Structure 1
């Protein structure tokens, strides 16, 4: 396996400043040039891209990110990319839950997807359901951008494969969310403001994203919303 210095050199040969190259490798757990390159592209316009890496990150090459029901799960270093159970690039690497890199899925973007799960027990109208799905999709993508999910840009460029499924209760949505987070998948839960059809705080739609095989471990038994 190539060293961090070798990957830094490769990124510098592509035209990136040394400090950015080094930061990108740290922020992607030293998983190689391609994940670091994806991170650099995703964060090119970030105002703090040249800010120093926190010492807590600089001293280690892997880790996990804290999140809530609307984000990622793990031990925390704010702003650090999550050690997701999904590929770091549309190629051959995955980041395992322990933060280590290993060979995994041979991933093309068609093998990544987002799933929106609707609580049908709320009996929302078609328009209300559509609005809640839109909130879930936007929130999920914002979370992934905020956490620099390395495969996000490729998924967006390839059509953003998304399916809508149905659950039978709020309790079922919460159970699905917990299982998704145990697999370190990005999630976003929509809670309604209560201004129209349903009570405030009602959990309406859960968004989950990742490699299809991993997402299906959570939602594979669910039926399509029709």
Structure 2
């Protein structure tokens, strides 16, 4: 794959997203709720303030995600997005559960590495389980994660078939990742530069899977069919 071809494929990818955005919403995640008209299944693309493509005037995708990729999974699109967004009300408003969202986990490690946080928060953040005392201590960090992710805009593409979602997610990540030649690096101030995960820091994405893969250009035809459909 030549640099010229990759840039052309990346431009085509963003052109298709612009077509999709022109006829749908591009809300901030914190503005979203179950009352919105979400497709049952789809692929989502996150955009972060201050993160633009190389030419500087078009937003770049910072995370690609989907859901329900196994036959047994019944998770719907909004359920997954709600896990990333965190809590709106309840006993811990503004918080969330980074143990149920790898996206929240990575944003949290970046915030930990770029700020001052108590030792109990640092020590417990990476644990797969935690008691009530640790979870309470982590609430302020969970709120900071919710604030950061909640400010991101997102674009959702309906994709009813599991293999459609799998192909678009994996190939879009591979196309955009800097590890194998992605053309749009993050800004110097991108929070992901402080993430604990090397995959996040070197790919320029809040993703860890597929960032070192090779993309199949045929996925752009599938993406185009779903956007135009």
Structure having the higher helix fraction is 2
Structure having the higher strand fraction is 1
TM-score, normalised relative to structure 1: 0.28
Larger Rg: 1
TM-score, normalised relative to structure 2: 0.28
Q: 1 or 2 for the larger relative contact order (CA 8 Å, sep ≥6)? A: 2
